[in-house]
Amino acid sequence: MSKIHDAVVELRRAPGVRGAAVLTNDGLMAASSLDDALGADVVAGLSSYLLMTANKSLGEGGMGTCTQLTVHATHGKAVLLDLTDSFLVVLFDQFADIAGAQKQVQDAASSIRRASRLA
Amino acid sequence: MHLIQRMKIWKELRRLEQRAREQPSPSTFVDLGQVYINLDLHDKAERIAEDGLALFPKAPELRQLLDCARRGLRGKQAAELRAKLTRAPNAATYRELAQLQIELGDQAALHTTCQEWGLRFPDDPGCWLVLGQARLVGFYRDLAAREGQEAVRCLQRAVAMAPGDAQARRLLGEVLYRIGAVHGAMEHLQKLQELDPQDAELQALLAHVQGLADRGDDIDGLLEDVEAHGSLAHPSLAAVPKPQGDEAMARVRDGLAHVADLAGVRKATFIRGSKALVKGSIRDGRDPFLRVVRVVAKAAHRFAKRLDIGSANKTVVDGAFGHVCICVYGEALAAVQCDEGTDLTQVMAELQEIVAGALHAAEGSGT
């Protein structure tokens, strides 16, 4: 579990990242490193809601599930990445270059997947 | 209030609650809400007004009740914040209190709060922004030059203290072009664009302002002209006559056809309200792509709003199906489904163009 936490903390250090968290599909927080202004419960609840809603509508349409969901909002950005039984949420500020941070996000996701298999 | 009086009131409340359940009408809800307001239970009055509006959404008396209950709640919140500031002053609480006072329309209290805020936290531009906002409301209402001068002064100070603050810059840019200082306004709007190049609303505003005549940069003189003539030099973006619906929709249709022709794009749609334009391999209105687009756009909007990161303008969903890219502004939405490897930057730019173009489309045109 500490390796998952370490991966999240490492990801948080990337430029423009306001917070990162690993959540179970039903919204339970497994590890997080979030900006003080972000409530862990709020992030968990909303991320789970967004991913579950997207997956439900994709599933009903026979389109499978989503592997990544990216939201660009006026004051921030978010990436939700599927990790099979859980998912990684990364919150960015509005000026962050998500494409530039994609490698760090994918590296963190790989570390978390490896750590989950070993646990 | 002694025990017998309290018992009488609670009995009356139970009677009114029962009446509201058994014979719901706007007046039964208002009577019940009024009792709660008299008991200083504004939260319950708000709930009653909301319940009533769910049944009678057009009843003006229920709207008044809701307004009254909310004002009471805000008044209480303001008193609590004031007490909190006396114990432990901080800039965030001052901001919260000032916003409440703006909503309450309590100008005198707002000025006192901002004065205190500025004295205690001289490096915080927040008090100047809030004062500028309040002065702007007065200026747009009365077109009084003095209010306008104060608004511009406060906003200029807020921008000088925090050049990256988009809100202060936008308000300043808007008031400047409305009074005729178009070149001055463009400077601020262009800076805003540098801060957020993807803001579709800002692009529409820039396009609007660029076409206006400049009347110089003597702000005080321009404000006095506004007061003398009783009208602003230029209309706001929202007030500009909109292009004919057919024309606007033709542009949307062309844009959609163009995006559907991009390599890798399979389906494209433009949705406004309950109607949709489609291009590509979409079978009918029940195509799962259309449902996914609507559901994800709504969920992303709620996600961003509740997370306090503004409006979700662009959303990309990746999966075995490829990508679903959605661009939303207000009621207008454009989306595509495309294969893996498609140039998403280009697709998103095209979708943004379609949505920005549709901003002017007349309500209820043939979508």
Shortest distance between the Cα of B156 and any Cα of chain A, in A, equals: 22
Instruction: Please tell me the predicted confidence (pLDDT) of residue A87.
Output: 92
Architecture of domain A2-118: 2-Layer Sandwich (3.30)
Q: Confirm or reject contact between A64 and chain B (CB < 8 A).
A: yes
Instruction: Identify the contact set of chain B against chain A, taking CB-CB distances under 8 A.
Output: 195-196, 198-199, 288-289, 291-292, 295-296, 299-300, 302-304, 306-321
Number of cross-chain residue pairs from A and B with Cβ atoms under 8 Å apart: 114
Q: Confirm or reject contact between A72 and chain B (CB < 8 A).
A: yes
Asked whether the beta carbons of residue A60 and residue B288 sit closer than 8 angstroms, the reply is yes
- From chain A, pick out residues whose CB is under 8 angstroms from the CB of B195: 95
Interatomic CA distance for residues B360 and B203, integer angstroms: 13
pLDDT averaged per 10 residues in sequence order, chain B, 367 residues: 76 83 84 87 88 82 89 88 87 88 82 88 89 89 89 92 89 93 91 84 86 88 88 80 64 85 89 79 80 91 88 92 91 90 88 79 43
How does pLDDT run across B59-74, given as a tens digit for each residue?
Answer: 888 888 998 998 898 8
Q: Which residues pair with B229 in a beta bridge?
A: none
Asked whether the beta carbons of residue A74 and residue B288 sit closer than 8 angstroms, the reply is no
Model pTM score: 0.52
Structure tokens at B251: 């542009």
| Cα of A28 vs its chain's centroid, Å | 13
How does pLDDT run across B237-248, given as a tens digit for each residue?
Answer: 776 665 555 666
Domains along the sequence of chain B with CATH:
3-76 (1.25.40), 125-239 (1.25.40.10), 245-358 (3.30.450.30)
The structural domains of chain A, with segments of one domain joined by +, span 2-118
Interatomic CA distance for residues A80 and A93, integer angstroms: 15
Among B9, B82, B93, which residue's Cα sits nearest to residue B44? B9
Q: Confirm or reject contact between A98 and chain B (CB < 8 A).
A: no
Shortest distance between the Cα of B365 and any Cα of chain A, in A, equals: 28
Instruction: Please tell me the predicted confidence (pLDDT) of residue B334.
Output: 92
Question: Alpha carbon of B269 to those of A42, A72, A101, B75: distances in Å?
Answer: 32, 19, 30, 46
pLDDT at A17 over 50: yes
B240 or A62: which leads in pLDDT: A62
Asked whether the beta carbons of residue A67 and residue B292 sit closer than 8 angstroms, the reply is no
